[in-house]
Amino acid sequence: MPLFITSREVNQVTILDLDGRIILSEGCQQLREAVAGSLSNGAKYLLLNLERVDHIDSSGLAELVSAFTTAASQSARLKLLHLTGKSLEIFHLTRVDSLMEIFSDEASAIASFK
């Protein structure tokens, strides 16, 4: 299943809703292009909604970290929403959760950018 990404804006926060898998053979390129496109359109606050992402492999994890550093290099901030289950466990084991803010509710995530 390919990764589908839709974009919306709430209170000056660009939310990318991801649906599918973020793995080497699919998803990484789409995520990279969606983040780059949002940044080139002037987004300063990015929130990746992972509620409908059912699998993230090591390449996907690396792509999320790359998206975070790309955003930071362009004076933008990137945070994650609805990271659960095995994916959350992997983020904890690799300590990526200490690098990126992870939220379980959209309103709190949006408010955190202000």
Q: What is the rounded CA–CA span in Å between residue 10 and residue 33?
A: 21
Q: What is the pLDDT of residues 5-29, one digit of tens each?
A: 999 999 999 999 999 999 987 789 9
> What pairs with residue 58 in β-bridges?
none
Query: pTM of the predicted model, to two decimals?
Result: 0.94
Q: What is the rounded CA–CA span in Å between residue 19 and residue 44?
A: 22
Q: What is the pLDDT of residues 56-70, one digit of tens each?
A: 999 999 999 999 999
Domain 4-112 adopts which CATH fold? Transcription Regulator spoIIAA (3.30.750)
